[in-house]
Structure 1
Amino acid sequence: MRRVEEFLTEQVAIRGAEPALSDSIGTQWSFDEFDRASDDVATLLRDAGVQPNDRVLMLSENCAAAVATVFGTWKAGAVIIPVNARQSPAEIKRIIDHATPAAILMTTCASSDAVKHSDAMGSKEVTGAFGSLHLATPIASNPDADLCDVAVLLYTTGTTGDPKGVMLTHDNVRFGGKASAKLRGISAGNVVYGVLPLTHVFGLCSVMTASCCAGAHVRLEARFSAEKLYTALTTGVHFL
């Protein structure tokens, strides 16, 4: 089995100094810097007691630190659970109770809603090459060997019942990224506008993973705005 983070390793070897990620809070990372940021997240998680086949929940809105969190979780051998920080505390609690994550990382650097959840959980600020995040560890490490090839647990909203975790393997995410990059003609040097939430399968696979697979630069936006979209389209963005 090949893992999704291998896409990043490949890009570092080919175009490490070229632009990989930028976001609305001013972050600008090359592939080398993206790699170091995700390494720091992996180290942070291991130091917090996260083991391979644990689950890591990410409360986020789009930013470079969120992408580093996803890739850092994979580098630590754990499964990422991306959840939009704009969900309510009750919705998030239901996911936590079901998924029992060994760590929760919140992109407080780019999301006021993540700050609210962080305050409610009594989390602590953590810093590194990824910038600033907040970390909570309300549940002890509890690895599940059955998740050894799972990359992502995407939870439904639970509109008609309890939220359900949809398992995507590393092969699933790699296939989705490669297929999207090929079908849309994304290539190295292109700029992709990342306004679709990374907490949704389309943003996760067809934007983030596809761009990393192709060596493209993702300009991340936390929330949609017609004005910001127009600016992006007139300042070098090739794909939405």
Structure 2
Amino acid sequence: MLALKNLKKSYTDAGEQHTILNNINLTINAGDSISIQGASGSGKSTLLHLLAALDKPDSGEILLNNSQQPNQGNDITQFTEKEADAYRQFRVGLIFQKFNLIDCITVMENVMLPAKITGKVQGEYIQELLDALDIHRHINKLPSQLSGGEQQRVAIARGLSHQPPLLLADEPTGNLDSKNSDLVSHLLVTTCKKLNTALVMVTHSQKVALLTQQQWYLDDGRLTQI
């Protein structure tokens, strides 16, 4: 689905250049579950931003459909702003540590937002998603009426409601206690597996990381499989 080829990213601080990603290579296939660990500031979130076409690398390619040779239009690092918006709307789901739910609308309305934007509203699929994440009984509540674990399950449903082939999760259980972290992380991985959605998850938790098929560690700009 995606092939990362020799990605490099650096930043300048006080006139000094620092390399945060150095020749990153990674293949993401449909249905893969991948976790990325590393110290704070190691570049984990930067890598997710590149995968979401929210940022551009200094050099390297991110090729759609695992193409070995770049064809016109399939390197997301070369997307225009309009192309990047369309890529995120139709091909990518996003889950954040702080949930980022809209407080003034119901759980169901939050879940349905991406599906309505893309026009991919499928009632049977949405119901299956709500049941899998055990939030069907909360659909008419506001997010503020839910616990942290329940809100993160709503965020997972929202990220998957438009059936994206790729789900990017940035510390999705970082604000949860141990019990809710275990529950939500299991639900996240199993739901993506059931839907054949590729999952790339940044986490500080080795316990959460071990739920995924592949575990990688980012250190000194290098990505190493554990």
Q: Which has the higher contact order (CA 8 A, sep 6+)?
A: 2
Same fold, judged at TM 0.5 (above)? no
Who wins on radius of gyration, i.e. which is larger? 2
The normalised TM-score by structure 2 is 0.29
The normalised TM-score by structure 1 is 0.27
Greater percentage in strand: 2
